[in-house]
Amino acid sequence: MGVGKNAMEIFSVLDKSNCRECGEKTCLAFAGAVYLGKRRIEECPHLGREEIARFSQETGQPHRSEDELDVYIAKMMQQVVNLDFQDVAGRIGARVNGDVLLVPMLGKNFGIHRNGTFITDLHINPWVVSPLLDYVLKCKGVPVTGEWISFREIAGGKEKYALFKKRGEDVLKQLGDKYPDFFNDIVHMFSGKSVEERFESDVSVVLSPFPLVPVMICYWQPEEGLASSLNVFFDKSVDDNLGIDAAFFLGTGMAQMLEKLAEHHAF
Q: Work out the pLDDT band at 92, boundaries 50, 70, 90.
A: very high
| CATH number assigned to the domain covering 7-59 | 1.10.15.40
* pLDDT tens readout for residues 162-176: 889 988 999 999 999
Q: C-alpha distances in angstroms, 21 versus 25, 43, 44, 45?
A: 9, 9, 8, 7
pTM for the model: 0.74
* pLDDT tens readout for residues 34-73: 777 677 788 888 887 667 766 665 554 444 555 566 777 8
Where are the chain's structural domains?
7-59, 66-138, 148-265
